[in-house]
Structure 1
Amino acid sequence: MRLFAACLLLSGLVACTAANSNVPSADASHAGAPLPFIQDDYARALAEAKAKGIPLFVDVWAPWCHTCRSMKAYVLSDASLARHADRFVWLEVNTDLTSNAAFQEQYPVEFWPTLYVIDPRQEKALLRFAGSATVAQLEKLFEDGERAYKGGITGAEALLARGDALYAEGRSAEAAETLAEALTEAPADWSRRGRAVESLLTAMYGAKQHEDCARKALEELPKTPRSLSWANGALLGMYCVLSLPEDAASGTELREGLEAKVAEALAPPAIDMSADDRSGLYEVRVQAREAAKDAATVKALSAEWLTFLEAEAAKAPNPQARTVFDSHRMLAAMKLETPGRAIPAIEQSEKDLPQDYNPPARLATLYRLEGRLDDALAASERALARVQGARRLSVLSGRADIFVARKDTASAVKTLEEAITFAKTLPASQVSPRMVAGLEKKLTGLQSSAR
């Protein structure tokens, strides 16, 4: 699901992924999947696409991103996708790896996961789709990417392709204008209406047109078939509302309207979506009730959310699929002010996936909240032994919080200084200025308090 804010929040809250060797963990790879993904080698994939005369399909992911892992465990693993293997050259790009910085510089990523279709003849992005998809939606993306590559389309289809390309180039405002035109020109029963609505709202969010985005969601949803695209439209509209200033005059009205749509997406009849997608709807409902300062409903929704996640995790076919739910189980337990409820599951994840830094990084936070500070510090050390790239900053930030809880300000300061120094060694395309600013602000506050 398109859990932009969630992925960004959780990357800072708990940190996550890989090993110090600068190679991806096999636990989260496409190994054994029906599509022959090349791992983290853009040059090779590009050369193959040029040689075969077909476009390049790219899955840009990160091991800390629960939606990325859900896509791998429940969608990209679907055996029915094997019939599409010859349509593209397939590439996965793990953004935790510094070796992928050049790809990110050429094809920027704002949200995880992001799916690209690239024309190898000009190294031009034809399509950039942010978020998850069902198998059926993924197959439509394949069609849209091929159409854009081959050309010759007209009308609303051409406008959709143009909007996709503009968004892929980072021209979000122009993309939004073009996609809105596509929806206006398209017939009422257009088969791509849902996808176009998702893409339009994504572009408006990227262009920071938050109020217009929320209003557009409320305008378009009644004309959109009930589907995952409809649910994502409600969720995107809600994210736009939650991005408005607290004193925005229209904030309450828009929040209530879109919160009703999100609740409707969760209600029967069930929409075909992954458990991770459904979890994202719960999360944004909790955020909406927090914005309304409705503590009682926050608790009630969080309890329902956590019970749902525990049931889904129990049905997961393997440890990799079960860990899809770890970050949201942690978050829901924290909202309930019962962080210990998530600890056994994440301890099991660490046993099952010993090379993955996500479980110990999450445990470090949970143990700290439970007052188990020695355990928190030990978990942080295990995470640091496995983490790499920019995600190391999140682990170090969490480690500083543990030292603060231990009333060891000197060690907290030293840890934050280490994080900031490390940030300066990383490729610019892989470092969030917001994360670095947060580290610097935290350091300044600690230094001031120590004087």
Structure 2
Amino acid sequence: MKSHLSSLLVVGLLACTTARTSAVSETPAAHAKAPLPFIEDDYSRALSEAKSRGLPLFVDTWAPWCHTCRSMRAYVFTDEALARHAGRFVWLELNTDLPGNAGFLEKYPMENWPTFFIIDPREEKALVRFAGSATVAQLERLFEDGERAYRGVAQGPEALLARGDALYGEGKAAEAADVLAQALAEAPADWSRRGRALESLLMAQYGAKRHEACARTALAELPRVPPSPSRANAAGLGLSCSLSVAGDVRDVKELRASLEEKAREAIAPGIAMPADDRSGVFEVLVGARESAGDEAGAKTVAGQWLTFLEGEAAKAPNPEARTVFDSHRMSAALVLGDLMRVVPAIEQSEKELPNDYNPPARLANLYRRLGRLDDALAASDRALTKVQGGRRLRVLSERTDIHVARGEKDAAVRTLEDALAYAKTLSGAQASPRQVAALEKKLADVKAKP
């Protein structure tokens, strides 16, 4: 599940891990052991191949910091059941941290990670844009929807779903929401696409800032979706939307309470779903308790969340899969106020994944909060040798906090100036005006300190 509340729960770098390299593959043979023949970080090549083969292009846009992206890579895209679909698309994966992928992000803007695109190479038009996680079964339905849109053969609710997907792919969230709502209204009760369509509708409503409509839609539609990952994700999205509704809106407290109950029901034990999806709903439930001013309740949920995550990490088949849970373990520990409960696990991740910038970046954050400032600065040094793109700005911003805690004002100023200089080398898709403005404000605040 794509998380909306990570930035509220934790300041800093709090997400995911990869099972595949970000280097560009020279030939499809480089993926001979993978179920799907992904081309890595080469949109031009993938587009050319899709045109020449007369196939739509499937794009997995991911980032090393995104826990859901890494869950997909560790647990879903490795599933051999996907091998039979290899010939349906040309497959492309893009690491959005890499400056070389900025052109794709400018052409196909995205707000959430991961986002999956199905693109018509004839017009370079996004037929489908789906944000969040998916099981193998959900991916297979996405494949069918993309092919149907590519061939232009959809009818009835499927045609409306295809139209809504295309509008969302073009960045027209409000128009997409209207069409997707029509699709749900016209579809039969047992429509096989209902769960997927509801997730897409809620994401479009969220993107259009129709938070109240998103929350009320979720509450109305959830009973029509059977227990499943789609239902859990829709419950989490609806609850997340409700937390953005103004407090003076009619019956908003009752709306939030109802959606909180639906979210708890959706992740009940015994309902099969990816661990990352269940964790994402836990995260929103913590945010709901915090929004209600219920600190004790937030800690209770965070304790349940962290216990769940520790159990999933213990079952993970390899370090890449285990580190999927690191960012959420850190989020839960911060709410609990028990940081040492997660420090050893993230130290272990750094030892086992020496080329990953996430563990040292997270350790820099944790060590700073624990008052271990020399360790924090050393961990930041290690992260900076590996990180690039927009995430480098995050690491530099966090490094500033370490310098401030050490009483090193001049070093803090230099670090922020370095971050702003680096931002100028990136495209707006990787260093947004909002990020740059935040760095500029932070620099002004640091300079104003005695």
> Under a length normalisation based on structure 2, what TM-score does the superposition of the two structures give?
0.95
SS of equivalent to 1:57: strand
- The AA in structure 1 aligned to 2:416 is L
Taking the aligned partners of 2:111 and 2:32, their CA distance within structure 1 comes to 26
Taking the aligned partners of 2:436 and 2:273, their CA distance within structure 1 comes to 35
More deviation in 240-249 or 183-192? Answer: 240-249
* Contact 1:384 1:395 (C-alpha < 8 Å) held by counterparts: yes
Partner of 2:12: 13
Shift of 1:409: 2.0
Alignment of 1:55-204 (within 5 A): 55-204=56-205
Shift of 1:410: 2.0
- The AA in structure 2 aligned to 1:448 is A
Shift of 1:10: 8.2
Shift of 1:358: 0.3
* Contact 1:290 1:298 (C-alpha < 8 Å) held by counterparts: yes
- The AA in structure 2 aligned to 1:13 is G
SS of equivalent to 1:117: strand
Taking the aligned partners of 2:176 and 2:196, their CA distance within structure 1 comes to 14
Shift of 1:436: 2.0
Shift of 1:442: 1.8
* Contact 2:10 2:331 (C-alpha < 8 Å) held by counterparts: no
- The AA in structure 1 aligned to 2:178 is E
More deviation in 282-291 or 250-259? Answer: 250-259
Q: Deviations over 1:237-269 (max 9, x none)?
A: 11111222455454322211111111111224x
Partner of 2:206: 205
Taking the aligned partners of 1:121 and 1:30, their CA distance within structure 2 comes to 26
* Contact 1:12 1:435 (C-alpha < 8 Å) held by counterparts: no
Identity of aligned residues (%): 65
Taking the aligned partners of 2:23 and 2:285, their CA distance within structure 1 comes to 34
* Contact 1:24 1:94 (C-alpha < 8 Å) held by counterparts: no
Partner of 1:280: 280
* Contact 1:11 1:391 (C-alpha < 8 Å) held by counterparts: no
Q: Deviations over 1:308-365 (max 9, x none)?
A: 1111111100010011001011111111111121111111111111111000000000
Partner of 1:315: 315
Gaps spanning 5+ residues in structure 1: where?
none
Partner of 1:36: 37
More deviation in 439-448 or 225-234? Answer: 439-448
Taking the aligned partners of 1:48 and 1:424, their CA distance within structure 2 comes to 33
More deviation in 35-44 or 430-439? Answer: 430-439
Taking the aligned partners of 2:415 and 2:8, their CA distance within structure 1 comes to 21
SS of equivalent to 1:348: helix
Partner of 1:235: 236
Aligned: 1:351 with 2:351 = yes
* Contact 2:15 2:67 (C-alpha < 8 Å) held by counterparts: no
Q: CA RMSD in A?
A: 2.0
- The AA in structure 1 aligned to 2:308 is F
Q: Deviations over 1:106-154 (max 9, x none)?
A: 1111100000000111111100000000110010000000000011221
Shift of 1:229: 0.9
Taking the aligned partners of 1:371 and 1:261, their CA distance within structure 2 comes to 40
* Contact 1:17 1:386 (C-alpha < 8 Å) held by counterparts: no
* Contact 1:17 1:356 (C-alpha < 8 Å) held by counterparts: no
Shift of 1:231: 0.9
- The AA in structure 1 aligned to 2:220 is E
- The AA in structure 1 aligned to 2:48 is A
Taking the aligned partners of 2:236 and 2:167, their CA distance within structure 1 comes to 23
SS of equivalent to 2:449: helix
Alignment of 1:378-389 (within 5 A): 378-389=378-389
Change (3 A) 1:70 1:224: same
Alignment of 1:193-272 (within 5 A): 193-268=194-269, 270-272=270-272
Taking the aligned partners of 1:333 and 1:25, their CA distance within structure 2 comes to 36
Taking the aligned partners of 2:249 and 2:362, their CA distance within structure 1 comes to 35
Shift of 1:15: 6.3
Shift of 1:16: 7.1
Change (3 A) 1:433 1:249: farther
Taking the aligned partners of 1:429 and 1:138, their CA distance within structure 2 comes to 27
Gaps spanning 5+ residues in structure 2: where?
none
Partner of 1:442: 442
- The AA in structure 2 aligned to 1:165 is A
SS of equivalent to 1:386: coil
SS of equivalent to 2:113: coil
Change (3 A) 1:323 1:17: closer
Q: Deviations over 1:160-188 (max 9, x none)?
A: 00000000000000000000111111111
Partner of 1:426: 426
Taking the aligned partners of 1:406 and 1:250, their CA distance within structure 2 comes to 47
- The AA in structure 2 aligned to 1:62 is A
Shift of 1:11: 9.3
- The AA in structure 2 aligned to 1:297 is G
SS of equivalent to 1:446: helix
* Contact 2:5 2:284 (C-alpha < 8 Å) held by counterparts: no
Shift of 1:230: 0.9
* Contact 1:98 1:389 (C-alpha < 8 Å) held by counterparts: yes
Change (3 A) 1:290 1:180: same
Taking the aligned partners of 1:225 and 1:165, their CA distance within structure 2 comes to 26
SS of equivalent to 1:273: coil
SS of equivalent to 1:355: coil
Taking the aligned partners of 1:314 and 1:369, their CA distance within structure 2 comes to 26
Partner of 1:296: 296
Q: Deviations over 1:281-300 (max 9, x none)?
A: 11110000000011111111
Change (3 A) 1:92 1:31: farther
* Contact 2:3 2:280 (C-alpha < 8 Å) held by counterparts: yes
- The AA in structure 2 aligned to 1:272 is A
Shift of 1:420: 1.6
How many pairs align? 444
Partner of 1:400: 400
SS of equivalent to 2:382: helix
